[in-house]
Amino acid sequence: MMDSSNPLYVHPSDGPGSLPIQDKLIGAQNYRSWRRSMEIGLSTKRKLGFVQGTIPKPPNVAVPPITQAENAVRIEMWETCNNLVISWIMSSVSESIAKSVMFIGTASEIWSQLETRFSLSNGSRKYKLSKDTFGISQQGSSVSEYYTRMKCVWEELDSMNNLPRLVTITPEISVFLNAVEKQKEEQRYDLPKCCYK
């Protein structure tokens, strides 16, 4: 029996419809949120490496100490997982997008093509999101609904800042990080206030 932590393991409940993604990919306008939802879902199934290309197909010729028979089984398991991930991608995109990637052989190639096609440059996306923040108005909705819409834009903007991870936080770094967080909050207060249009 295969260890369930192995990315080639397929749980009995896993099938084409077992990775529910709430919003289907329809284009560049929802690509980032769709991609994040897919990454979370694939990660919970231990299949994220199939789209990242970090779980490559085993070679056709067995490399000792693996026998040719064992290698054939590994290839079949990899192809099963790859096709399962492809089915999850296909069921989470619009019909026209699914048709455009249907004959691509691997999940990582599909993922890469979708990234190339729908990912706006960070600069373009940041500009659009910043512009969106000024276009959002309360328009009769509750303050909490208005705040939620703004928070979605803020979170996406924050996610676009690829900052290095800190291993050790000294008191000086802590003070600096608090100042940066305070500045970010002040910038948010400068954005449009709850107003009716």
**Could you read off the pLDDT of 84-94 as tens digits, one per residue?**
999 999 999 99
Q: What is the pLDDT of residues 36-74, one digit of tens each?
A: 999 999 999 999 999 999 999 999 988 888 899 999 999
- The predicted pLDDT at position 127 comes to 80
Please give the share of the chain, as a percent, with pLDDT higher than 70.
Answer: 88
The mean pLDDT of 118-128, rounded to a whole number, is 74
Is the model's pLDDT at 192 over the cut of 60? no
Closest to 75 measured CA to CA, from 63, 90, 88: 63
Kindly report the average pLDDT of the chain as a whole number: 86
Alpha carbon of 140 to those of 24, 38, 48, 94: distances in Å? Answer: 28, 33, 41, 32
Please give the share of the chain, as a percent, with pLDDT higher than 90.
Answer: 49
CA distance 76 to 84: 12
- The predicted pLDDT at position 83 comes to 98
CA distance 168 to 179: 18
Q: What pTM does this model have?
A: 0.68
The mean pLDDT of 103-111, rounded to a whole number, is 97
Q: Among 20-24, 96-100, 121-125, 166-170, which stretch is predicted with the lowest mean pLDDT?
A: 121-125
Is the model's pLDDT at 185 over the cut of 60? yes
Q: Is the peptide bond before 65 cis (omega within 30 degrees of 0)?
A: yes
